[in-house]
Amino acid sequence: MFMFALPFFVVYFLSKKSWWAIIPAGFFTTIGLVSLLDVLIPHEEYARLPNTMSWGVYTWVLFLGFAATFGVPWLRHKTEATDWTKYPALGFLAFAIISFVLGEHIQEYWLATVMLVVGGIFLLAMISKKVPAASQGTPEIKA
């Protein structure tokens, strides 16, 4: 995985316009790091029910690496069009924190947590929606 990441790092550091290359480089590096941790640091396998999803010990490292992968291009948002990268970075960061806190129980609560977060975002969007005053009327769109 580190060898897959290397060309993308080279492209990223050689060209200032190739900010996009840090995203595949970060993904490959993160997957390589999690694989390396799994081999180097012994751990006990979590007990799980048959036919259920199995989250690894280093799930939080994976999501934290993905958050950093999208956080790095966001640092260039004043000079490049990378402002959108804050959304996946924050989402991955939140999931990293949740998986760190819940540990082995994340497979039991991840779906409910995601649904609650998405529902909360929709509620905030509905509450904060600007409604035009009655005297203003509806703006006309000219084609």
pLDDT number for residue 139: 61
Whole-angstrom distance, CA of residue 95 vs CA of residue 59: 9
pLDDT at 25 over 60: yes
Residue located via tokens 């994976």: 62
Whole-angstrom distance, CA of residue 131 vs CA of residue 111: 33
The one-letter code for the residue type at 75 is: L
Average of pLDDT values for 56-72? Answer: 87
What SS3 string covers 19-41? HHHHHHHHHHHHHHHHHHHHHHC
- Predicted structure pTM score: 0.69
In angstroms, how far is CA 132 from the centroid of its own chain? 35
- Helical residues (DSSP H) of the chain, grouped into ranges: 2-14, 22-40, 59-74, 86-102, 106-127
Tokens of 15: 């060209």
H or E element: which one contains 65? helix 59-74
pLDDT grade for 41, boundaries at 50, 70 and 90: confident
Q: 3-7, 68-72, 117-121: lowest mean pLDDT where?
A: 117-121
Summarised one tens digit per residue, pLDDT across range 103-141 is: 766 667 777 877 887 888 788 878 877 655 556 666 666
